[in-house]
Amino acid sequence: MVKLRVSAVLFDLDGTLVDSAPDLAGAANEMRQARGLPPLPYGVLRAWAGSGARGMLAASLQAHPGHPGYDQLRDEFHDRYEQRLLQETRLFDAIAPLLDALESHGLLWGIVTNKALRFAEPLSRSLGLLPRAAALVGGDSTAHTKAHPAPLLEAARRLGLPPQTCVYVGDDLRDMHAGRAAAMGALAAAWGYLGVDAPIHEWGADFVLQEPGDLLRSLDLA
């Protein structure tokens, strides 16, 4: 295996560092129940969790941007999700020791997410990711969201590092697109939600990480 040489690791948030799908799915099912619909099984909603409100509304109510009333549904989802932001959300297993290991080797790490800072900041702080993370770039921090490279480039700028000295770890095809467009190594987190676009082996990732500890091995730190 070719080892990567980097100065910093950037992570997606939902589906990579934290398992927020139970609370996202819970908010979606609250909306269904409010409309007299039965809740959907968690397994049906989990794959859509990485797409936030857009994914949850598509999966639970077949509502899509541009449809009549969509903006109101999105606002309702955000309000319901905010009320249960940390009811069941937690760090994925082995993430805490992974971050400890990166810091012990002198590597910076940060978070780049499409989640709005309204949610990403309190969630990250409550789970102990802040103030440890050297950067937090949210979905409303730049003019574009992933798969555009702008959020990753902004994170590298905040770290004071050339983008090519960073790698990006994420659980969605658009994370790989963003990483490559930013000239970063792109690593796929197989423990995450993985979306509904294409199977992970078709993403073109530099590495597919089966578990968090594989990141250390890819960086020759284990």
- Cα(43)–Cα(137) distance, integer angstroms: 29
Q: Alpha helices, DSSP H only, in 11-104?
A: 21-34, 42-46, 52-61, 70-83, 95-104
d(CA 216, CA 57): 36
Q: What residues act catalytically?
A: 12, 14
Q: Which residue in this structure is represented by tokens 């790490």?
A: 109
Nearest-CA neighbor of 113 among 130, 97, 96, 101? 130
Query: Which amino acid is it at 11?
Result: F
Assign 108 to helix, strand or coil.
strand
Pair of tokens at residue 16: 């990579």
User: What's the residue count for the chain?
Assistant: 222
Q: How far apart are CA 87 and CA 19, in angstroms?
A: 11
DSSP 90: E
Which pair of structure tokens corresponds to residue 146? Answer: 């992933």
